[in-house]
């Protein structure tokens, strides 16, 4: 938590105001997507999905392959508590939904399904086909059941260790990849390196909790320097990565 506070204090003065952005692509993305709070999209779906999870009293045994939890001390957790403390906030779900509706990606990969709060936002674009990876069988089952209850049919959840699952997907191309799984430097970089093979000129990567720890900040800074990366946007909680060859290499910090 101290790392986040110190990093935020350093990050805040570096942020760009809308009219200080000279890249037309980034200017439009900020104005029409990140800052457009008037979009309604399918807000009722993600709102009701979240409400249903917050009422779910089921207790599950969570297998955690990542950096661990700062909230839970036991692997036995109520679904409603996961939704309350560990799942994506409503604001973050809405932002992901905005990004999906802005870029209209057809093929989406999510690393880290958990109980499906990010998945429902990614799947809100009707033409999208979402593949979501989850290491824990019990959280994956909660997500599958919940998505079925909401009649979401454009998602596939693959259960297994992330690196093994990713190897089977490296011949695919993805328009958007949402990294929200193992919050460690080594794992984040491993997944990113492995998935470079799936990138096209229009691909968007979204990294969750890029300043969650000093390790995640280090991983984010290294990803920014990938030769294939041209534009990045650091919104503090989320990091956006673009591979547009027509753009010169630039890094932006934008407050949302």
Claim: this prediction has a pTM higher than 0.85: yes
CB contact set of 95 (below 8 Å; sequence gap of 6+): 34, 238, 256
- Give strand pairing partners of 239: 207, 234
| Residue closest to 221 by CA, chosen among 140, 229, 194 | 229
Domain count, the chain: 1
Domain containing residue 13: 2-253
Distances (CA, A) of 20 to 17, 26, 54, 65: 5, 11, 40, 41
| Residue closest to 46 by CA, chosen among 103, 88, 1 | 88
Name the DSSP class of 57: -
Helices then strands (H, E): number in the chain?
10, 10
pLDDT by residue, tens only, the chain of 256 residues: 788 889 999 899 999 887 778 899 999 999 999 887 555 555 788 999 999 999 999 999 887 765 444 455 467 889 999 998 877 778 888 999 999 999 999 999 999 999 999 999 999 888 899 999 999 999 999 999 999 999 999 999 999 999 999 999 999 999 999 999 888 999 999 999 999 999 999 999 999 999 999 999 999 999 999 999 999 999 999 999 999 999 999 999 999 8
CATH at residue 203: 3.40.50.150
- Backbone CA torsion sign across 66, 72, 74, 79: negative
**CA separation for the pair 240, 252 (Å, rounded):** 10
pLDDT value at residue 2: 83
Residue burial 71-81, b: 16+ Cβ < 10 Å; e: rest: ebeeeebebbb
């Amino acid at each position: 938590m101290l790392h986040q506070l110190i990093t935020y204090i350093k990050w805040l003065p570096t942020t760009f105001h809308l009219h200080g952005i000279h890249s037309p692509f980034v200017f439009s993305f900020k104005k029409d997507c990140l800052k457009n709070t008037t979009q309604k999209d399918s807000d009722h779906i993600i709102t009701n999905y979240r409400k249903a999870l917050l009422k779910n009293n089921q207790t599950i045994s969570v297998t955690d392959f990542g950096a661990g939890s700062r909230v839970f001390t036991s692997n036995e957790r109520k679904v409603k508590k996961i939704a309350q403390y560990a799942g994506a906030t409503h604001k973050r779900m809405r932002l992901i939904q905005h990004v999906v509706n802005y870029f209209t990606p057809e093929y989406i990969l999510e690393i880290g399904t958990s109980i499906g709060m990010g998945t429902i936002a990614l799947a809100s674009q009707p033409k999208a086909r979402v593949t979501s990876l989850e290491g824990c069988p019990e959280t994956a089952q909660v997500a599958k059941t919940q998505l079925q209850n909401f009649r979401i049919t454009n998602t596939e959840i693959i259960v297994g260790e992330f690196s093994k699952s990713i190897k089977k997907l490296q011949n695919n191309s993805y328009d958007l990849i949402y990294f929200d799984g193992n919050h460690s430097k080594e794992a984040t970089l491993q997944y990113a390196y492995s998935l470079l093979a799936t990138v096209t000129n229009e691909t968007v990567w979204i990294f969750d909790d890029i300043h969650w720890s000093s390790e995640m900040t280090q991983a984010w800074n290294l990803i920014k320097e990938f030769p294939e990366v041209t534009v990045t946007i650091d919104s503090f909680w989320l990091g956006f990565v673009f591979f547009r060859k027509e753009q010169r290499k630039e890094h932006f910090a934008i407050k949302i």
